[in-house]
């Protein structure tokens, strides 16, 4: 402390206060609103990033030079490939020794790297919230359709339009029953969960705490339930001909499975966007896996 200037002492005190604030946030129990918006996570991350920048400003130039490879790697992942700040950091890495002005410039570039990281977290959390919101609305709609079929079976008829020799209703009867819609929705949900499990297997995991792949899977479930009901309504309306419209219960279950799985045609765009969001969050392991020889090739070019 004796070797620090008055400005450096103020920075050190501010860093300690930020550390205590981040520790209090981490140890506190988040409420529903904070869990949804992620404000507490963003605040704790901002405090920790500010502390890192302050420590860089207070460290000897030789210590900052030792951390430059890690700083450059983070900057290359989070900023654009030819960002001027990345080039500046690489020039500092080639410069020996560093002076106090270089150290302050590196700390300023670190602030930009952390800001880019925070932006990616905000985008990921926002997309996660959109998926959860869509899942909630679709679930309410599916439950509403099921309750409508329960209270008024004649309003949502999934049986054959004409009486057949075999049972044609989803519940196994000859006349509309209160549980027909719920039975079809359950079959559609089951089919959608199977297809969703296969789709999510191809997604890359994420180190963020937002569970984006899980959110993209959940939105498939009510979608599958609704597409199963909608598909059978179209089928019973004769869109595929009178023979298909008169299908029995066993065939109806098979069609419900197919229509439930068809939700993938609608949610495939969500899967693509989910993967794009995950790919926008850089991780060293992912980039190394993509191009294991890139680092060595870059060293040779330099």
List, for residues 86-141, the tens digit of each pLDDT value: 888 888 888 878 888 888 899 999 998 888 888 888 888 889 899 999 999 999 99
Assess whether pLDDT exceeds 50 at residue 156: yes
Assess whether pLDDT exceeds 80 at residue 210: no
Assess whether pLDDT exceeds 60 at residue 297: no
Cα–Cα distance measured from residue 173 to residue 112, given in angstroms and rounded to the nearest whole number: 66
Angle at which helices 263-279 and 249-261 cross, to 10°? 20
The pLDDT, as a whole number, for residue 282 is 60
For residues 177 and 252, the answer to whether their CB atoms sit within 8 Å is no
Mean pLDDT across 151-170: 81
Token pair in block for residue 20? 């205590």
Cα–Cα distance measured from residue 146 to residue 94, given in angstroms and rounded to the nearest whole number: 67
Cα–Cα distance measured from residue 178 to residue 157, given in angstroms and rounded to the nearest whole number: 10
Cα–Cα distance measured from residue 97 to residue 7, given in angstroms and rounded to the nearest whole number: 24
Cα–Cα distance measured from residue 245 to residue 238, given in angstroms and rounded to the nearest whole number: 5
Q: What's the DSSP call for residue 206?
A: -
Per-residue pLDDT of 164-187, as tens digits, reads: 777 778 887 778 888 899 999 999
The pLDDT, as a whole number, for residue 298 is 40
Q: What percent of the chain has pLDDT over 90?
A: 21
For residues 114 and 49, the answer to whether their CB atoms sit within 8 Å is yes
The pLDDT, as a whole number, for residue 163 is 73
Query: Which of 46 and 290 is assigned the larger pLDDT?
Result: 46
Q: What's the DSSP call for residue 301?
A: H
Mean pLDDT across 180-200: 89
Per-residue pLDDT of 1-51, as tens digits, reads: 447 788 888 888 898 999 899 888 888 877 777 667 777 888 888 899 899
pTM of the model: 0.75
Q: CB neighbours (10 Å) of residue 97?
A: 8
Query: Which of 19 and 282 is assigned the larger pLDDT?
Result: 19
For residues 248 and 180, the answer to whether their CB atoms sit within 8 Å is no
The pLDDT, as a whole number, for residue 295 is 40
């Amino acid at each position: 402390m004796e070797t620090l200037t008055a400005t450096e002492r103020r920075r050190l005190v501010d860093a300690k206060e930020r550390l205590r604030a981040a520790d209090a946030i981490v140890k506190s129990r988040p409420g529903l609103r904070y869990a949804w918006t992620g404000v507490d996570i963003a605040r704790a991350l901002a405090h920790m990033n500010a502390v890192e920048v302050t420590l860089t400003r207070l460290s000897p130039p030789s210590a900052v030079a030792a951390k430059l490879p890690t700083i450059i790697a983070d900057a290359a992942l989070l900023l654009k490939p030819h960002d001027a700040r990345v080039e500046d950091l690489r020039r500092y890495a080639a410069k020996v020794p560093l002076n106090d002005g270089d150290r302050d410039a590196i700390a300023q570039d670190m602030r930009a790297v952390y800001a880019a990281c925070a932006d990616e977290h905000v985008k990921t959390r926002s997309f996660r919230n959109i998926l959860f919101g869509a899942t909630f609305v679709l679930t309410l709609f599916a439950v509403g359709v099921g309750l409508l079929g329960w209270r008024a079976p004649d309003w949502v008829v999934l049986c054959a339009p004409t009486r057949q020799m075999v049972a044609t209703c989803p519940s196994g009867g000859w006349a509309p029953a209160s549980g027909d819609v719920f039975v079809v929705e359950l079959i559609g949900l089951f089919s959608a969960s199977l297809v969703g499990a296969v789709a999510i297997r191809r997604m890359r995991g994420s180190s963020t705490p937002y569970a984006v792949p899980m959110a993209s899977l959940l939105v498939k479930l009510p979608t599958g339930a609704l597409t199963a009901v909608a598909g059978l309504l179209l089928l019973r309306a004769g869109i595929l001909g009178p023979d298909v419209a008169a299908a029995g219960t066993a065939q109806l279950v098979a069609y419900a499975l197919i229509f439930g799985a068809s939700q993938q045609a609608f949610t495939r765009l969500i899967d693509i966007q989910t993967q794009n969001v995950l790919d926008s969050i850089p991780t060293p392991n992912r980039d190394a896996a993509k191009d294991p020889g890139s680092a060595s090739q870059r060293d040779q070019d330099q």
